[in-house]
């Protein structure tokens, strides 16, 4: 990779610096800071009312921060120049129900100068067979697919999706995530919120957690999983062999009859210790924490 490309990768697409936003008495955002770089797929987690949509509204230029700043490729998101750098799903479906799918996407493509991409986007979002249909006649899931597709039609360095799959069935949700995955590339970044944490875990390599307007975690998804709950190693057929967590890389969290559960943030080290003890068990099962568990542990801790 040449130096120019390298330096582009080091330059933040999005910089949020100490951004706060109040609506009268309600402080929806409180001193939030983070950056997003090319190629990053970032999940934004938070309970209802945590401030995710408010954050997205500042990034897309719909609102201005009460204090602090947001910049998109160095520009204020309120300015037209900055908005060329962002693809956004309109709120709700945000799509005119009387338009045909292809007319709507061509209209969006015309706005962004990307009409040549419409066919490819239709294909990636599996909408080609629906391109002549009137949007109002499509199912809720299909309409959502059209609006998510429109966000990617901006062909922008950053795409933001606020709960793109809420209220849809499992099959449609998985189709939407698959399409999103197929379209995010090396130099494109994505900021996406969802209450389906398993889906964020599968897609995003970095997660931001918000609570009551504050950013309480910003970390790689994997380290968030390891740090907050740890993995659980279940040993079976332990018999009367003694296993103690003292001085070890694990703690014993359950000891019932023949079975023992150990919790560890370092599975490899825990297995090394068990090996040194001569594998004191007949069966072993390792379960890794889910993002959902990590999220619950983390937000409970902060309450
Ligand atoms: N326009 C507004 N006027 C007044 N209060 C608002 C406005 N927009 C958001 N809020 C308040 O700001 C807080 C954060 O709301 P926000 O919609 O950003 O949360 P969220 O994390 O997106 O929630 P959800 O997951 O339910 O969509 C909430 O207390 C909300 O009631």
pLDDT at 5: 47
CA–CA separation, 59 and 47 (whole Å) = 20
Q: Nearest C-alpha to atom 5 of ligand 1 is from which residue?
A: 23
pLDDT at 90: 60
The order of strands in the sheet holding 283-287 is 251-256, 259-264, 231-236, 283-287
Distances (CA, A) of 86 to 11, 18, 76, 199, 265: 16, 21, 12, 22, 37
CA–CA separation, 112 and 87 (whole Å) = 10
The residue to mutate among 21, 25, 52, having the most atoms of ligand 1 within 8 angstroms of its beta carbon, is 52
Q: Nearest C-alpha to atom 17 of ligand 1 is from which residue?
A: 53
Distance 267 CA to ligand 1 centre (A): 39
CA–CA separation, 206 and 218 (whole Å) = 7
Pocket lining for ligand 1, CB < 6 angstroms = 23, 26, 28, 46, 48-54
Distances (CA, A) of 38 to 140, 158, 260, 267: 32, 8, 45, 32
Q: Decide: 86 and 77 in contact? Cβ < 8 Å.
A: yes
The residue to mutate among 22, 25, 28, having the most atoms of ligand 1 within 8 angstroms of its beta carbon, is 28
Q: Nearest C-alpha to atom 26 of ligand 1 is from which residue?
A: 48
Structure tokens at 44: 């934004």
DSSP states of 117-163 as a string?
GHHHHHHHTT-GGGTTSBGGGS-HHHHHHHHHHHHHHT--SEEEEES
pLDDT at 92: 55
Structure tokens at 262: 């150990």
Residues spanned by CATH 3.40.50.300 within the chain? Answer: 14-225
Q: Radius of gyration over alpha carbons of the chain, in Å?
A: 23
Distance 203 CA to ligand 1 centre (A): 25
Q: Nearest C-alpha to atom 31 of ligand 1 is from which residue?
A: 49
Return the CATH class of domain 14-225: alpha beta
Q: Nearest C-alpha to atom 2 of ligand 1 is from which residue?
A: 23
The residue to mutate among 30, 45, 48, 53, having the most atoms of ligand 1 within 8 angstroms of its beta carbon, is 53
The percent of the chain in helix, strand and coil, each rounded to the nearest 5, is 35, 30, 35
Which pLDDT tens digit goes with each residue over 86-133? 988 765 555 778 999 999 999 989 888 899 999 999 998 889 999 999
pLDDT at 52: 94
Instruction: Give the atom of ligand 1 at the shortest distance from the alpha carbon of 57.
Output: 18
pLDDT at 289: 73
Distance 28 CA to ligand 1 centre (A): 6
Give just the sign of the alpha carbon dihedral 209, 212, 213, 215: negative
Residue ranges of the chain with per-residue pLDDT less than 50:
1-2, 5-6
Question: ipTM score of the complex?
Answer: 0.96
Helices (H), 77-126: 80-83, 101-112, 118-124
CA–CA separation, 220 and 232 (whole Å) = 20
pLDDT at 288: 77
Q: How many helices (H) and strands (E) does the chain have?
A: 11, 13
- Classify 236 as helix, strand or coil: strand
Q: Nearest C-alpha to atom 28 of ligand 1 is from which residue?
A: 49
Distance 122 CA to ligand 1 centre (A): 33
pLDDT at 80: 83
Give me the count of residues in the chain: 303
Distance 299 CA to ligand 1 centre (A): 18
pLDDT at 9: 62
């Amino acid at each position: 990779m040449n130096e120019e490309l390298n330096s582009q990768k080091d330059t933040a697409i999005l910089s949020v610096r100490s951004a706060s936003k109040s609506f009268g008495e309600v402080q929806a955002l409180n001193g939030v800071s983070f950056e997003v770089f090319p190629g990053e797929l970032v999940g934004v987690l938070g309970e209802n009312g945590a401030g995710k949509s408010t954050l997205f509204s500042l990034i897309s230029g719909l609102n201005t921060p009460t204090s602090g700043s947001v910049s998109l490729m160095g520009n204020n998101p309120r300015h037209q120049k900055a908005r060329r750098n962002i693809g956004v799903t309109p709120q709700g479906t945000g799509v005119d129900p009387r338009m045909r799918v292809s007319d709507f996407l061509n209209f969006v493509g015309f706005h962004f100068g990307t009409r040549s991409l419409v066919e490819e986007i239709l294909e990636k979002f599996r909408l080609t067979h629906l391109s002549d249909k009137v949007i109002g006649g499509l199912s809720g899931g299909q309409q959502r697919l059209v609006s998510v597709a429109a966000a990617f039609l901006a062909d922008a360095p950053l795409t933001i999706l606020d709960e793109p799959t809420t209220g849809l069935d499992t099959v449609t949700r998985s189709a939407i995530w698959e399409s999103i995955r197929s379209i995010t590339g090396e130099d494109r970044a994505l900021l996406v919120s969802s209450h389906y944490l398993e889906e964020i875990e599968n897609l995003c390599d970095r997660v931001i957690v918000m609570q009551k307007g504050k950013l309480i975690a910003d970390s790689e998804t994997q380290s968030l999983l390891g740090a907050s709950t740890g993995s659980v190693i279940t040993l079976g057929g332990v018999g009367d062999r003694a296993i103690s967590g003292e001085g070890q890389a694990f703690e014993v969290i359950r000891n019932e009859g023949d079975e023992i559960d150990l919790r560890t943030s370092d599975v490899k080290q825990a297995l090394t210790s068990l090996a040194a003890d001569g594998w004191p068990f007949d069966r072993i099962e390792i379960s890794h924490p889910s993002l959902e568990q990590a999220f619950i542990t983390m937000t409970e801790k902060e309450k």
